[in-house]
Structure 1
C-alpha cells in the first residue's frame, strides 16, 4: 500500500530556466533586417532609368562661357510645366506624373544636360527621357536668335536591359547591415541602463546601513531604563 501511495504522488520536476546570451539581440535584429530587406526587394516592382543628353552650342558671335550659363538655365526649366506640356503627348502620361518621373542634371564645367526618365518599363523610361529632351530642344531653339545658343541632341536614350532599382539580394544585404547596426546599438544601450540601476542600488545600501547603525541596540534601551529607575 505504501508503495502504491508513493507511486500516486506526482513527481516534481525542477524547471531550469536558461537565460539567453547577452548578445542575442544582434543576430535577431540582423535576421529580421535580412527578411525585411529581401521581402522589399521581391515585392517592389523593378524601376528602369534611361538618360538622354543635349548640349548647348554657341553660334559664331557667342562666347563658350555664355553657352555654359545657358546650359545651367535650360537644365532648370527642363522640368517646368511648359516643357513637360510639349513632352506629354510623346511620353504618353500626364504632366503631373511626368514631373515625378524625370530629372535634369548638368555639370558646372560642361554645357551638357543629362535628362533621365524613370519608369516601371525599360521602353517607357527611354520614351520619357527622349520626349523631354526633344521638348527642351524645341522650346529653347525658338529663342536661339536672341540668346545666341541652341540646344542639340547629343545622344538619345535607349531602353536599359537591367533595372536601376536594387535587386532582392542587394536589398537583403542592406537590411542585414541595418538590422545588425540596430542590434549592436541596442546592446550598447542596454548595459548602460543596467549599470545605472546597480549604481542607484549601491548608493541606497550605505544610507540604509547608516540609519540602522545610528539606532540604539536593544540592550542599551534596557540599561537606560534601569538607570532611570534607580534614580
Structure 2
C-alpha cells in the first residue's frame, strides 16, 4: 500500500508540474429595468442574456476586442446567471492572466452593446457592473495539491487492491485427516404400561 501511495504522489506531482497553469477572470453585467418597465422583467432578461452571451452575435464583436478566435472564446468563456438577481457573471480561463481578463471584459462589453441595441424592444438596460481584473495567481491546482491528491488516490487504490485480492486457503497437510463421527442412531422411547 505505501508503494501505491508513493506512485500516486509521484504521478500527481508530475501532473502538477507538467500541466500548464490556468488563470480565471470574471466580469459582471447587470440587467436593469428601463423607466417604465416592471422590475421583475429584468430578472427574466438577465437569464436570457446569460444564455446568449457566448452565442455567435455576441462572440463576433468580442473576438475583435479580445484578439482571439471565436472558437477560443466559446471554449474559454462560461456564464452564470444569479437566480434571484439580474446579474450575469462572465468567467474566462486562459493560460495567460491578461488573456483571461481580456476575454471576460470583451464578452461583457459585447453583451452590453448587444443589450443597448435591443433596449427599446426589451425595456431593460444591460450595464457592465464590474470589469475583470488580471488574476494574480492561477486558478488551477498547484503541484503540491496534485501531489497530495495523487498520494491519497494511490493509497486508496492500494488499500482496495489489498481488500479485493483472493485469499489463500489453508490446505490440510497430506496424510493428516480428521475423523468425523457418524450420525448417532435414535434411541428407543419407552412406552407406558397400562395398570
Q: With structure 1 as the length reference, what TM-score do the two structures score?
A: 0.72
Larger Rg: 1
**Aligned residue pairs: how many?**
175
Q: Matched residues in 1 for 2:68 and 2:11: separation?
A: 32
Match for residue 51 of structure 1 among 26, 40, 51: 26
Post-superposition CA distance 1:50-80 (Å, at most 9, x none): 0000000001221221100110110000111
Between the aligned partners of 1:141 and 1:174, the Cα distance in structure 2 is 47
| 1:188 counterpart = 2:163 | yes
For residue 28 of structure 1, report the CA deviation from its aligned partner.
1.1
Unaligned runs of 5+ in 1: 1-25, 203-208, 210-231
| Structure 1 position 126 matched with structure 2 position 111 | no
Q: What SS does the aligned partner of 1:165 have? A: coil
Q: What is the RMSD computed on CA atoms of the aligned residues?
A: 1.8
Q: Which residue of structure 2 aligns with residue 179 of structure 1?
A: 154
**RCO higher in structure (CA 8 A, sep ≥6):** 2
2:84 aligned with 1:84: no
> Which aligned segments of 4 or more residues in structure 1 are displaced greater than 2 angstroms?
none
Q: Distance in 1 between matches of 2:88 and 2:8?
A: 39
Structure 2 segments unaligned to the other structure (5+ residues)? 173-177, 179-195
Normalised by the size of structure 2, how large is the TM-score?
A: 0.85
Which residue of 84, 92, 106 corresponds with 1:109? 84
